[in-house]
Amino acid sequence: MGYGYGDKKATFEEFLKLQQESEERYEYIDGEIYLLASPRTAHQIAVTELFGIFYNFFQGKEWRPMVAPYDIELRRSEENINVVQPDLMIICDLKENLNEDDYYKGVPSLVVEVLSNSTKRKDMIKKLDLYLSCGVKEYWIVNPDNKEVTVYLFEDHNISKHATYKADEAAQSFIYEGLSAEIKRIFRF
């Protein structure tokens, strides 16, 4: 659950101060700070399996799969800065968007979030809207509870396509031809 300071939202500067002073991991979305809890086993297995699939698929290509914890700064506007840590992401422009402190300042082309009870609402509503409005092209929502993966294609700040995969199916990327992940492999635990 998100929180600010008292009944007001936190500023970006307050978020940065909290982040610097704490060993905990946080996300900052539309003025609310979210503590990131330690993930469960099914969550980590899904992330690991997907990372393996993505890593093998993108081997030798210019795109790079990355895993959390890795801060991604997304701006709805100059003033509305958000910081998230997607479970998994594909970055196409890493070299062009590294700042002098070695932090990535671009927008991933594909983002994956694995749901948990504590993040479900944030991942399915707040982050979907954030990713859609900030230039992410494809968003995978992985649900270990019902063993489904929903893939969204974003174009012109709208959902242009989406598909849900389960059981004996394989989730398919809209933007990377040939990138697929067998549902049984993702949820092998």
The tens digit of pLDDT for each residue in 70-103 reads 999 999 999 999 999 999 999 999 888 888 889 8
Determine whether domain 39-186 maps to CATH 3.30.465.10. no
Evaluate if residue 3 carries a pLDDT over 70: no
Give pLDDT, residue 167. Answer: 94
Mark 81-108 as b/e (b = at least 16 C-beta within 10 Å): bbbbbbbbbbbbbeeeeeeeeeebebbb
- Taking the alpha carbons at both ends of the chain, their separation in whole angstroms is 27
- Burial (CB count within 10 angstroms: exposed 0-12, middle 13-18, buried 19+), residue 62: exposed
Cβ contact 178:156 at 8 Å: no
- Burial (CB count within 10 angstroms: exposed 0-12, middle 13-18, buried 19+), residue 56: exposed
Percent of the chain at pLDDT > 90 equals: 81
Evaluate if residue 185 carries a pLDDT over 90: yes
For range 57-65, the mean pLDDT: 93
Evaluate if residue 8 carries a pLDDT over 80: no
Cβ atoms within 10 Å of 113's Cβ, excluding its own: 26
Side-by-side strand order, sheet with 64-67: 64-67, 88-91, 110-114, 138-143, 148-155, 158-166
Full-model pTM:
0.92
Evaluate if residue 108 carries a pLDDT over 80: yes
Cβ atoms within 10 Å of 23's Cβ, excluding its own: 4
Evaluate if residue 158 carries a pLDDT over 70: yes
Give pLDDT, residue 6. Answer: 44
Q: Domain locations in the chain?
A: 39-186
Pairing of strands 138-143, 110-114: parallel
